[in-house]
A and B are shown apart, each in its own frame.
Chain A
């Protein structure tokens, strides 16, 4: 079981070994996405079907223009598919209204962006608290959670710093803490080390490994082989289709 298994049955990757009856956290069923630019219709995704299991550590890879970003936007409930169904947890998101999408984003997903996307006017603690605020946590409770997470990512002594006072690696750690704040079902990371030097990048990857070790489900878009190597499952996209979907059994 230690060999890499190349599955050819797309969208039907076997669950990680060693877990009986695994929980499916997200599943895409025949997802298509078409963009309309005036009269021109561009189909970016053609019938993508994937299942993600609890504790998965997935890299989504592929050349530019293959539909990675679109797929991530759909997974992140920032965009709706033109056709097909997307189940996040127990919810079917394909028919959701804008408000419901906001709610499910805030409650079930954690976002980590390439350019950190912290809010510059707010300090570290306030940035981490933000998702909690939109979920309606009481100030005291969200403060406690945010303090705990700031310490966990090693920034417990910098909670009152503004983002511009931090290094890139530190900012990305704040972003990770923010993504963990609501205890999401899935953490979505878009080129998380893309803007970082090797050393900071390595720190971030170490954090990801820890999260994976704790059973978090991570989905990550990356060009970096180094980053992809750490993950457990690789989904390759080409021209809007799933080209390959491989799993390493650990």
Chain B
């Protein structure tokens, strides 16, 4: 009989709390890894046993995370494309172009007689003034652009004939595919040489090699000395709005040749009869030494031209300014995309909270049992919180996989540039995990705050 007493005394003398199972420290067991592992297992088991419900719960997070990543990838790609266009124009360039002023039309229609030539646009004097009065301008490449029919034997096409300087390709980041560009001496000599764009070369010389051949413009023959690389659709050097999106068809001859062969006045057939215009320069690329100063120099050029021109018959394009604008709008796009995706993540989080609350109610009895068997409030909180985090974490992971796949699909089927930056999946995943914690807190607190007696009585 004394054995009982001995046994009971042994229990009484045993410590209430046991030393940590794995740590050798004398501290009490609070949150050991073993504990977390077990709670995590319980969480996974519970999620698994409600497969469909868990899947539906997670869907909100999956969609949210996938949307964040895909939207960011698409907007990143679009802004990259836009920026690439402006970068091709040259970040340290300023483009000044002649445009026909709107009012001119009216005044020229007065009276009878042969149509008067409209005189507008940039002049060599303008260019010289700009070059001489603004420091920090390294080069000015002035061009004349005249539309002409060009011929190779029987084949002809209508194209822009650009009379320009030797630096034109360099200033535009525009390289030769074959042959060479014309030289200073050829410009000096008004030489009849021509460099074709890849598109024109293909059209005029479908079979034979254009290099060494010749083409006819008006009544003069020009030797083909070079072919430019294909330009694609981007760096036309035209104003973005209203720019034709067709493949650029243009050929290049020395500026001097253009001036002496075609003269300065061009005549063109229009609906109302003949129309003549006299334009000395169609465009000028002004290169600035310091990229930082480009926007400022652009403003100064505008002031100079305003003083020299009565009418606004020119436009000034600063690619860098456009680039900045593009960057700004890209940022705006990202913010909008982020906000939309954030809302869907929020909705996903509310979904998780909803299901967790249902789960807490459904498992009231279990909570009571666990509490009776020695679970502390924080054990219960940990259990439900871990469950919420697992749910949102798994959802986030699926979302990341989908979110990385979607941009690839978009690129493959619609040919859009998409860029998945590494930060996007990381960001989206951590937000989803955070949402799991935030929206898991309230349900788990509710679970932990249940009265064990009430919970055990729950049916």
A residues within 8 Å of B by Cβ?
18-19, 21-23, 25, 54-55, 73, 76, 78-79, 89-91, 98-99, 102-108, 111, 113, 117-119, 121-122, 130-131, 133-139, 141, 178, 182-185, 215, 217
Contact = CB atoms under 8 A, between A and B. Distances in A.
16 contacts: A18-B1, A19-B4, A23-B12, A25-B12, A54-B5, A99-B376, A102-B374, A106-B373, A108-B16, A121-B45, A122-B45, A135-B374, A136-B20, A138-B22, A185-B11, A185-B12
A172 to B, nearest CB: 14
Contacts of A182: 374
B456 A106 contact: no
Contact of A119 (B19, B21, B366, B453): B366
A2 B458 CA distance: 44
B21 A138 contact: yes
B453 A79 contact: yes
A215 B4 contact: yes
A134 B453 CA distance: 19
B444 to A, nearest CB: 15
A113 B5 contact: no
Contacts of A73: 453
Dominant SS among interface residues on chain A = loop
B453 A136 contact: no
Interface stretch (B27-35, B257-265, B309-317, B345-353): B27-35
Contacts of B131: none
A136 B21 contact: yes
B379 A134 contact: yes
A61 to B, nearest CB: 21
A121 B373 contact: no
A31 to B, nearest CB: 16
Contacts of A141: 21
A105 B17 CA distance: 11
B11 A183 contact: yes
Nearest to B368: A117
Given A104-B16, A136-B21, A136-B29, A111 B5 contact: no
Interface residues of B, number: 45
Contact of A19 (B5, B18, B371, B373): B5
Nearest to B50: A121
A91 B2 contact: no
A106 B374 contact: yes
B456 A78 contact: yes
Given A130-B370, A139-B34, A103 B376 contact: yes
A185 B5 CA distance: 11
Nearest to B372: A111
B8 interface: yes
Contacts of B378: 99
A215 B7 contact: yes
B373 A215 contact: no
Contacts of A107: 14, 16-18, 374
Nearest 10 CB-CB pairings of A with B: A106-B374, A136-B29, A215-B4, A54-B8, A138-B21, A134-B374, A55-B4, A102-B376, A131-B373, A78-B452
B38 interface: yes
B377 A119 contact: no
Nearest to A185: B11
Contact of A121 (B4, B46, B456): B46
A137 B18 CA distance: 8
B17 A121 contact: no
A78 B374 contact: no
B111 interface: no
A133 B8 contact: no
B3 interface: yes
B9 interface: yes
B377 to A, nearest CB: 6
A102 B377 contact: yes
A98 B379 CA distance: 12
A141 B366 CA distance: 24
Contacts of A19: 1-2, 4-5
Contacts of A106: 373-375
Contacts of A118: 369
B377 A98 contact: yes
A99 B17 CA distance: 12
Contacts of B3: 215
Interface string B444-459: 0000000011001000
B8 A102 contact: no
Given A18-B1, A136-B35, A111 B12 contact: no
